[in-house]
Structure 1
Amino acid sequence: MSTLLFSLGRWSYRHPWRVLVAWVLLLSLAGGGALAFMKGTDNAFSIPGTEAQEGIQLLERTFPQASGTSAQIVIVADDGDVVTEEPYTGAIADTVAAFTDLDGVLAVTDPFDDMVSGLVSDDERAAIVRLQFDGQAIDVSEETTQALRGISADVRDELPAGAQVALGGDLFGTSIPTLSIIEAVGVLLALFVLIVTFRSLAVAWFPLVSALIGVGLAIALIYAATAFTLISSTAPMLAIMLGLAVGIDYALFIVARHQDQVRAGVEPEESAARATGTAGSAVVFAGMTVLIALVGLSFAGIPFLTVMGIAAAAAVAI
């Protein structure tokens, strides 16, 4: 392994533009494939064999009307008012009618229905309007969710200033992780740490850029794979986090060894080959242990964990 890596390091040093162009070309091809063929990630999470999953499946078979997700709007009257009088009764009636017309809504429970109890507080200051949807939270369209928020805002505007309106329930209890400014801040912090470590702005960019190219390629391949198989929505995020972590860390080993050898008087070409052969061998060993651990998630028998592990393993390998 050391001999192979030594030769790879020397060849890469002698042909830097070929190496860089090859990686950028791979990234471009994978990115183009992802844009052309990706079908989006899967937000459904199931744990086969568990009592909870079996209960959900049984409910879907025997009582599908109650197996879907739900939402509710809570209306609290102003001090001195009650929800059983105007303008609250009218606003609640309008809300029930508006909810009934939404796509995907199976049923809306009116708190003032004679067949219903427990949706109006004992002091008559608060009332709850419940909604039952067809399917789980991931099956409810974004348009329907936005319409719910719009109706809630309209009710809030109609009622007296001191009244309170809150929208909640299972529908709003599921959040899918997405990229945010936090990841960008983390990359900048990593760059700062690398600059301090290497005492060189130029050298500090090498581990970071190589990690970003590797993660970009991995994520593009993951999204391209959605054309052929179901990929859980959490898989890309895990691949990004682990890919950046090991990408920067492993490149740091090799670059640090190379920098120390050059400062000690070793020729840059020889140093690059040695660093890749020695520190690179440690990187291969460490990377293999991480790959084994991630692929080992499949032994849990949980589909989305298996996908997460394989996707993250691909990012680490790249």
Structure 2
Amino acid sequence: MIKKLFLLFIALLGLREGYAQFSQKDITTLNMYRDSLKHLGAEIVNNPGEPERKNANYVFIKTLVSALKTPNSYLYKFDSVKTISVLNSPDNRFRIFSWHIAHDDGSYRFYGAIQMNTGGPLKLYPLEDYSPLMAHPEDTVTSNAKWYGAQYYTIIPVQGADPHYVLLGWKGYTDRSTKKVIDVLTFRNDKPVLGMPIFASKEKKRNRVVFQYTRQASMLLRYVPGENLIVFDNLAAPDKKSKDKPETYGPDLSYNGYKLKNGRWELIEDLDMRNVPNESDASYIDPKPTEMPRLEVKPVPRKTVQ
């Protein structure tokens, strides 16, 4: 009788957590991997030595891949591994893992992977950060092997003639400036493609949108679902002498946005924020919400992770 009650408890726990399709062995295995990933993630963030952080990241990648080879791993949330971002697409077609390592010189390198929801064998596309070699990211369409690395916090699905997913992400850059990114993900021949010429302004069409601003500032970049609108701070130089120095830019208290129209995102300048709903959605928040007023990740890599 006690054994039957225990098995019933396990089954109900599995249903509650969305793990009903796991065997007890698989849950035990995934929990073991999760605990290892939590420990390694803390090392990636907290260890004062760059070589040690890089080594922890190397082991982290191997451990994550091993975990994802477990049957039904797509259903396992990994939400207690706080040092990475794990986002499911709203249509549940895939999920994206993304995270970063801080270097001693103030720069960052990003890591990630796209796991497809196959219902069976693992299909995983690694995301390889190609940012240092990408001279013109806003004009570039790439594969997952030449990724403009970022840590994502929002996925926006768009249906229509050119279905795509818009990704909002934070991109630590240097010891002086930070970046945020609006990117696009599509699948061609069942393989990921990043970038698409759908961001239209008076000057040009962009495959992705990149914002750069001083590390001392915060920048708002979020999606308002009811309006099909991506809203963001307008960035401006502090004075005329700095107009060619994006690392000095900061919000000037005005707002712009990209509005979805006929499958394209059209730039709207000088938005009246009084008419934009103040949606409170966790997906608007960057990877470290406790460190950022106004949705900003403050890139302080030595913060202790419990």
**TM-score normalised per structure 1:** 0.19
Max radius of gyration: which structure?
1
**Which protein, 1 or 2, shows the higher relative CO under an 8 Å CA cutoff with sep ≥ 6?**
1
TM-score (norm 2): 0.19
Higher helix proportion (structure 1 or 2): 1
